[in-house]
Amino acid sequence: MSQAEPFPNDPMVPPELSSNVFISTIDKFYNWGRKRSMWPMMFGLACCAIEMICVAAGRYDLARFGAELMRPSPRQADLMIVSGTVTKKMVPTIVRLYNQMPEPKYVLSMGACATSGGPFKEGYNVVSGIDKFLPVDVYVPGCPPKPEALLQGLLKLFEKIEKQSIRDVAWYRKTAIEAVPVPVLGPDLIDMRRAMEIREMSQSPVEPAADPAQA
Amino acid sequence: MAAKAAAAPVAELTGPLAGLKEKFGEAVKPGDFEGVVINHDRLVEVATYIRDELGYDYLTSVTGVDYLAQNEMEVVYHVLNTRAGGAPLVFKARTPRENAVVPSLITVWPGADFQEREAWDLLGIKFEGHPYLKRILMWEGFSGHPLRKDWKEAYYEQDVKPFDSRWPGGHHRRAEDRVPYADNVNFPADFDPTVYTAQADAAVYERFKNYEVDERGQFVPKEAVKDENGNGKFQEYLETDELVVNLGPQHPSTHGVFRMVVALDGEKIMHLEPVMGYLHRNHEKIGERNTYIQNMPFTDRLDYLSSMSNNFGYALAVEKLMKVTPPERAEYIRVIMAELTRICNHVWAIGFLLNDLGAFFTPALYAIEERELILDLFEAVSGSRMMCNYFRFGGVARDLPVGWLETCRELVFNRLPKKVDELDYFLSENEIIRARCEGSGVLTGDDAVKYSTAGPVLRASGVAYDVRRAEPYSIYERFEFDVAVRNHGDVYDRYLIRLDEVRQSLRILQQALNQIPEKGEIQAGKKQYSARVPAGQAYGRVEGPKGELGFYVVSDGTANPYRYHIRAPSFINLTALGPMSVGQKIADAVIILGSIDIVLGETDR
Ligand code: SF4
């Protein structure tokens, strides 16, 4: 609440307390509380998870940002740090975990793999980026990102949270927030949102459009 | 070593192999490598002979190679003699590509279990007689065997790198724009996802013979496993329920994305099925497309806690083929890096074993502190904390920066020995640790060899096998150190042996830091972007922190490895997890897994 003004001399407030009372908007207060207690899910996927653990340990000390409480249960977590390669075999679990997290929830994609598939993009068991399935709030580049980079990613998330307003955030609306359909492991990974499209295409395969620049 | 022989085929079988020919006649032929090709009709028979008469009691690596041009599949076995040491004995079995079948050697060496499943999964080689030949890294129901040379993934561009141009027309084209589904997927013709039933989990549960899925989708025993008094199988005095519990793939105690499916009777484990592949990143397929040097940074990402060791193993394998030896100073630098890595890994493993025991993160914080100091050293030489990519064929990437050795000496001579003693002092005699660890998860020496476990797991069971001694590589024969051994084979010994090994590593480091030449070359020959690797095959192995890490590389003389296989200790050590855990409490499965110390990047590759 850095921008909050000390309360002006008001007869209702005893003089000895006047420098201890602040006025602010509810949004600022609400967001301040949320961003300073951003509990990540204890959830590591690959190499990047090791750097995430280092961030939580003594030297980089995630506790300075109020985010040191890694929760093993998605029900208690606010932030999913996707720390590592998302494989096809794993992605149904990740989506299910995301669906189990209560709103408000955020996704931070840590490292090249989670962002795009990274060095393993061409692999047959690799999903090219978690954003194919989940909405991502912050991308942190690197392979692995240095701990400082992850901390900066967290600060970027805080900036995003500061801009949200209690009046229009999705989780206080009457309309339910839809869960992401869990992908299925078939002959290849089936994104259930595209099931009809896959059925049609596998019956009458079409070639992708040629590269316009090459033509 | 296989590499030497590749150029000049051996006409006559010599050494331990001479007797084979006599005994089995035409079934055994000399290969075009240092080893034999065994007719698959008599494979089990010959293998039994190799184990019993020739003393090769330990199966280290099983893998396949797909020779598309010859229309042949080859299964390559590397076996070791744990008592006499020395180089592995190599033998192969050949089978046609279509309907590739060889007999399973699981009865001769039970350690073949996971590796045969892997070869089935990725290469489609059937192992006759394997009790549970199901996919292990991919899921059941996946179409095709991806490591076959004619299997192409969705993002396939060209057979080998570097690709002609990533910039046709002068601009980059995203992989997504090139493929029909705009994503990394392919489906067989006429596939209908709306009526598809997934088989992935059903195949896992098939192992639980006494269980079935009921109409609510719950997993229940078919008929309760009870004795005539109505008690469970293990619990004599209590009325207990049987149930099946999934630990993982997202579970804080599985050290990543590993899954254990356990059948419980009350709290006792009746069956434990490890399920892996959740981090299978297709390392080998990508590796066969990369140039030799491009694979170096990929090896970092295998066991991502000990990238320097992984570099070492891969460099050794390719150097065997190229027949280069690094200069003196580079050899010392390599040993120093490898031993620092071991310390890093072991303190981390101890810290996280304590986490599993319930001492949540306090000991780990102390362990991580020391690791950070070593990571600083790595960052100074390689530019990266974790993914060092530091070794090159015939040397290392850069020389040590000014002042590096002093910092390292300070750490190795003054700080680390005290810190190890400190860990020892606070943890080893702790009553809770002893009560939980002593006697749990016992693996006998015979079983440890039988299941092909390696590294600390093997040595904690009383088998003094260490690649640094058994087949010294690099300059390890110059150093004085003891192969740490403990004899109980329980979790406590697997904890203690890591402390012992850290102490031995410090001894090696102290000698190396005293002996390292002040100046000198760090790279044999010129620095090159592409290594010229003669045709042949080589198996390079190092004693990594997790155990024997082997790289099997087949070169056809081009710029890319024809076959690139990794013998991953984390993967094979898990063979023993089930047998160690049965009969224990469910809470102990967690520490037994912790005491094996797996890293998923290496387990799943
Ligand atoms: S981005 Fe790099 S470090 Fe992170 S998971 Fe991927 S390969 Fe590992």
Lowest model confidence (mean pLDDT) among A137-146, B93-102, B243-252: B243-252
Q: How far apart are CA B96 and CA B216, in angstroms?
A: 45
Mutate one of B181, B370, B599 to test the A interface: name it (highest A CB count within 10 A): B181
Which chain A residues in 83-122 lie under 8 Å from chain B, judged by CB atoms?
A: 84-85, 87, 89-90, 93, 97, 117, 119-122
More confidently predicted of B209 and B214: B209
Q: Is the dihedral of CA B494, B495, B496, B500 positive or negative?
A: positive
Whether B286 and A187 lie within 8 Å, measured CB to CB: no
Q: Coil, strand or helix: which one is B81?
A: coil
Per-residue pLDDT of B37-57, as tens digits, reads 888 888 888 888 888 888 888
pLDDT reported for residue B193: 81
- A193 contacts on B by Cβ (under 8 Å): none
Looking at residues B159-187, what average pLDDT do you find?
77
Span of B21-35, B64-78, B533-547, B555-569 with lowest mean pLDDT? B21-35
- Cβ-based contacts under 8 A for chains A and B: 194
Q: Sign of the CA dihedral A202, A207, A211, A214? A: positive
Helix (H) or strand (E) holding B508: helix B491-515
Burial of B107 (0-12, 13-18, 19+ CB in 10 A): middle
Q: What is the pLDDT of residues A179-192, one digit of tens each?
A: 888 888 888 888 88
- Is the distance from CB of B563 to CB of B554 less than 8 angstroms? yes
Give B593 Cα–ligand 1 centroid separation in angstroms.
24
Inform me whether the pLDDT recorded for B7 exceeds 50.
Answer: no
Phi-psi region of B156 (alpha: psi -120 to 50; beta: other; left: phi over 0): beta
Question: What is the spatial distance between Cα A34 and Cα A12, in angstroms, rounded to a whole number?
Answer: 30
Axis crossing angle, helix B416-427 with helix B328-357, rounded to the nearest 10: 20
* CA B290 to ligand 1 center in whole angstroms: 18
Of A66, A90, A86, nearest in space to A78 by CA: A66
* pLDDT higher than 60, residue B569: yes
Q: Nearest residue on chain B to A187, judged by CA atoms?
A: B142
Two structure tokens written together for B246 = 């999934």
High-pLDDT (> 70) share of chain B, %:
91
> Residue A149 has what pLDDT?
93
At what angle are helices B362-382 and A47-56 packed, to 10 degrees?
120
Integer Cα distance of B199 and B141 in angstroms? 6
Predicted pLDDT at A215: 41
pLDDT at B342 over 50: yes
In short, whether B301's Cβ falls inside 6 Å of ligand 1 is yes
Q: Does A22 score more than 80 pLDDT?
A: no
Question: Does the beta-carbon distance from B183 to A132 stay under 8 Å?
Answer: yes
Average pLDDT, chain B: 84
Neighbouring-strand partners of residue A108: A81, A138
Determine the length of chain A: 215
CB of A188 within 8 Å of a chain B CB? The answer is yes
Integer angstrom CA distances of residue A105 from A27, A99, A161, B234, B357? 17, 10, 11, 44, 31
Contact B193 A93 (CB under 8 A): no
Q: Which atom of ligand 1 is nearest to the CA of A111?
A: 1
What is the predicted pLDDT for the residue at A207? 61
Instruction: Kindly tell me the burial class for residue B246, based on how many C-beta atoms sit within 10 Å of its own C-beta (0-12, 13-18, 19 or more).
Output: middle
**Cβ–Cβ contact A123 with B under 8 A:** yes
Strand partners, B566: B551
Among B187, B247, B347, the strongest candidate for a mutation testing the A interface, having the largest count of A CBs within 10 A, is B187
pLDDT in tens, A33-70: 888 888 998 888 888 999 998 898 888 988 888 888 88
Ligand 1 mean position, distance from CA A46 (Å): 7
Residue to test with chain B: of A43, A96, A124, most B Cβ within 10 A: A124
pTM: 0.86
Decide if B298 and A119 are in contact by the 8 Å CB cutoff: yes
**For residue A5, is pLDDT > 60?**
no
Indicate if ligand 1 lies below 6 Å from the C-beta of A129.
no
- The model's pLDDT over B77-132, given as tens digits with 9 standing for 90+, comes to 999 888 888 888 888 888 888 888 999 988 888 888 899 999 999 998 999 888 88
Q: Report the alpha-carbon angle B396-B398-B403, nearest 5.
A: 120
Work out the angle at residue B88's Cα, subtended by the Cα atoms of residues B508 and B536, and round it to the nearest 5 degrees: 105
Instruction: State the smallest CA–CA distance between residue A157 and chain B in angstroms.
Output: 24
Alpha-helical segments (H) within chain A: 26-35, 47-56, 91-100, 111-116, 147-162, 195-203
What pLDDT is stored for residue A108 in this prediction?
Answer: 93
Question: Chain-centre distance of CA B370, in angstroms?
Answer: 25
**The predicted structure's pLDDT at residue A106:** 92
All residues of chain B having their beta carbon less than 8 Å from the beta carbon of residue A213 are 168-171, 173
User: What pLDDT was estimated at residue B3?
Assistant: 38
Q: Distance, CA A120 to ligand 1 centroid (Å)? A: 9
Is A188's CB within 8 Å of B186's CB?
A: yes
- What is the rounded CA–CA span in Å between residue B603 and residue B366? 27
Is the pLDDT at B506 greater than 90? The verdict is yes
| pLDDT over threshold 70, residue B218 | no
Question: Residue B221 Cα, ligand 1 centroid: separation in angstroms?
Answer: 41
Surface of B (135-154) touching A: CB under 8 A: 137-139, 141-143, 146, 153-154
Whether A133 has its CB under 8 Å from any CB of chain B: the answer is no
Q: What is the spatial distance between Cα B472 and Cα B459, in angstroms, rounded to a whole number? A: 17
Return all residues near A81 (Cβ < 8 A) that are at least 6 apart: A40, A41, A43, A52, A108, A110, A150
Angle formed at CA B302 by CA B392 and CA B135, multiple of 5 degrees:
135
In the reported structure, the alpha carbon of residue B148 is separated from the centroid of ligand 1 by a whole-number distance in angstroms of: 26
Quick check: B2 pLDDT over 50?
no
Query: What confidence score (pLDDT) does residue A9 get?
Result: 62
SS3 state at B423: helix
CA distance B295 to B313: 12
CA of B350 to the centre of ligand 1 (A): 24
pLDDT for A208 equals 57
Give residue B501's pLDDT: 92
pLDDT band at A99 (very low <50, low <70, confident <90, very high): very high
Tell me which of A48, A52, A82, A115 to substitute to probe ligand 1's pocket, judged by most ligand atoms within 8 Å of the beta carbon: A48
Using a CB-CB distance cutoff of 8 angstroms, which residues of chain B are in contact with residue A210? none
To test the pocket of ligand 1, the residue of B280, B295, B301 to mutate (highest count of ligand atoms within 8 Å of its CB) is: B301
Predicted confidence at residue B357, as pLDDT, reads 86
Looking at this predicted complex, what is its ipTM?
Answer: 0.85
The rounded distance, in Å, linking the Cα atoms of B56 and B89 is 8
Asked if A53 is an interface residue toward chain B (Cβ–Cβ < 8 A), one would say yes
- Per-residue pLDDT band for B240 (boundaries 50, 70, 90) equals low
Query: A198 vs B256: CB contact, 8 Å cut-off?
Result: no
Query: What tens digit of pLDDT does each residue of B357-380 get?
Result: 888 888 888 889 999 999 999 999
A145 lines ligand 1 (CB under 6 A): no
The full set of domains in chain B, from first to last, is 16-128 (3.30.460.80), 283-604 (1.10.645.10)
Largest Cα–Cα distance in chain B? 79
pLDDT at position B4: 37
- Rg of chain B on CA atoms, in Å: 25
Q: Does any CB of chain B come closer than 8 Å to the CB of residue A59? A: yes
Does B283 score more than 50 pLDDT? yes
Residues in chain B: 605
- Whether B281 sits inside 8 A of A85 (CB atoms) is yes
Q: What is the CA radius of gyration of chain A?
A: 22
**pLDDT higher than threshold 70 for residue B222:** no
Give the 3-state DSSP-derived string for B132-151, with helices as H, strands as E and coil as C: CCCCCCCCCCCCCCCCCCCC
A72 preceded by a cis bond (ω within 30 of 0): no
What average pLDDT score do residues A82-106 get?
91
Residue A1 confidence (pLDDT): 43
Does the CB of A52 have a partner CB in chain B at under 8 Å? no
Cα distance from B394 to chain A (closest Cα, Å)? Answer: 25
The answer to whether A165 and A135 are in contact (CB under 8 A) is: no
Q: How much distance in Å is there from the Cα of A85 to the middle of ligand 1?
A: 6
